[in-house]
Every structure is written in C-alpha cells, then in structure tokens.
C-alpha cells in the first residue's frame, strides 16, 4: 500500500495510521516528525529547514519534497508507505506524483478520514488531558482514570482555536481532495464511528 493519509485534525487519522502500522508493519512517514528529526540530526536538509523555521517561515516545498524523497529511498518503504502531513497542497501532490513515478511506485490511494467539522469541534473541545501523566480523556473525567491526577483543557483545544485550525485545514486541503478525486485515487471513509469500525472499512476500501 502506497498511501497518502488525509483528514482534519481530530478526525482520527493518527489512530487509523497506528492500526495499519501495527497490523502490516508499513512505515508511517510523518513529515512533521521527519523535519524535527532532520533538524536534530543536523543533516543538510535539516539545516536548510531550520533556517526557515527559525525565521518563523514555512519550510518551502522543495525542502520538504527533498526530505520525503530521501525517506522513500530507504529500503523499508519498498513494500509500502503511509504518508502523513504531506502533501498539503495540490502543487506538492503533483511534485510527489512526479517523484513516485521516477521511483516506479505510484500511489495506490489517498485515504480521507472524513468527519464533519461540527463533530470535530465537539470532539476536541471536550478533550481533557492529565496534568501528571498526559492521559487524554474527556470532560466526563473529573480526575485522571489512570493516575488520579488533575485534568485540564489544552490551550489549543478551546473552541475558537479549534475552529481556526479547521478553517486552515479546509482551505488548504479542499483543492488536494479535488486533485485526488480527479486522479481517481480518493478513498473517503466516514470517520464518525467507532475506530474499529472505521478501521474495518479502511481495510475493505484498500483491499487489505
């Protein structure tokens, strides 16, 4: 499976990726994690990326594409990969297609975990985290069920911030979704259900 994972923050993308990784051992390639790792390791690309990040600028497409291409050259991706956090724009999607066709490993699907934004607002704003152990629960948890610690709401889980994140996501991702639909690669799964039910559908749709 050579897939690109799409979905709003809070849609459950990470949960589905973790299930695929656990069952199939497919590498989960998160560009956010890779950027942080490259910067830490001080690679050429990492240094380049850091100069943009330090200036508060977005890391340009060619740097990210360089990172992804480098990563896809590693042998563990030969049987497949799950790309997460990239591409973010249709220009990046076109560049990715070009790189993958050079490697002779075209995408098999763009998997969208689709959840209505009002459902996501509810999910994220009712999320509470344990001050002591980081356990993620909901507003129903007055105390942490794991350690008894105090539960609090993260700053970026307040409603205004969540709505802003969703707006940003929608604006940048809608063209991407249209792009993959046009290539006949889009697989859209209703993510507003139990994660195991969603996962069963994901496997069926990807013919796994």
Q: How far is the CB of 162 from Zn ion (least distance, A)?
A: 23
| Element holding 2 (H helix, E strand) | strand 2-6
Rule CB under 5 A: is residue 204 a binding residue for Zn ion? no
| Closer residue to Zn ion, CB minimum distance, 147 or 208 | 147
| Element holding 19 (H helix, E strand) | helix 13-24
Tokens describing residue 161: 């911030």
127 is in an annotated binding site: yes
Site for Zn ion in 92-131 (CB under 5 A): 130
Of 2, 50, 62, 56, whose CA–CA distance to 26 is shortest? 2
Query: Which of 44, 74, 132, 156: binder of Zn ion (CB under 5 A)?
Result: 132
- Helices assigned H by DSSP within 55-207: 61-72, 90-103, 117-125, 159-182, 195-205
| Closer residue to Zn ion, CB minimum distance, 25 or 145 | 145
Rule CB under 5 A: is residue 151 a binding residue for Zn ion? no
| Closer residue to Zn ion, CB minimum distance, 82 or 130 | 130
What order of strands is seen across the sheet that includes strand 151-152? 136-138, 127-130, 151-152
Q: How far is the CB of 10 from Zn ion (least distance, A)?
A: 21
Residue carrying the six token digits 């589905």: 16
CB-based contact 115:12 (threshold 8 Å): yes
Binding-site residue numbers for AMP are 31, 36, 57-59, 85-88, 92, 154, 165
Binding-site residue numbers for Zn(2+) are 130, 133, 144, 147
Binding site for Zn ion (CB under 5 A): 130, 132-133, 135, 144, 146-147, 149
């Amino acid at each position: 499976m050579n897939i690109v994972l799409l979905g709003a923050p809070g849609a459950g993308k990470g949960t589905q990726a973790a299930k695929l990784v656990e069952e199939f051992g497919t590498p989960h390639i998160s560009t956010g994690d890779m950027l942080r790792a490259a910067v830490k390791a001080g690679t050429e690309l990492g240094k380049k990326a850091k100069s943009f990040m330090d200036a508060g600028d977005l890391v340009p497409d060619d740097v990210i594409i360089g990172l992804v291409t480098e990563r896809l050259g590693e042998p563990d991706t030969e049987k497949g990969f799950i790309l997460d956090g990239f591409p973010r724009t249709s220009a990046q999607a076109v560049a990715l297609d070009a790189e993958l066709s050079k490697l002779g490993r075209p995408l098999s699907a763009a998997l969208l975990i689709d959840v209505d934004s009002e459902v996501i607002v509810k999910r994220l704003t009712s999320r509470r985290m344990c001050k002591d152990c980081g356990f993620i629960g909901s507003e129903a948890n007055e105390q942490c069920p794991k350690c008894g610690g105090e539960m609090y709401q993260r700053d970026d889980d307040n409603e205004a911030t969540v709505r802003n994140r969703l707006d940003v996501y929608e604006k940048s991702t809608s063209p991407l979704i249209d792009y993959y639909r046009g290539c006949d690669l889009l697989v859209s799964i209703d993510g507003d259900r139990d994660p195991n039910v969603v996962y069963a559908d994901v496997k069926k749709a990807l013919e796994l």
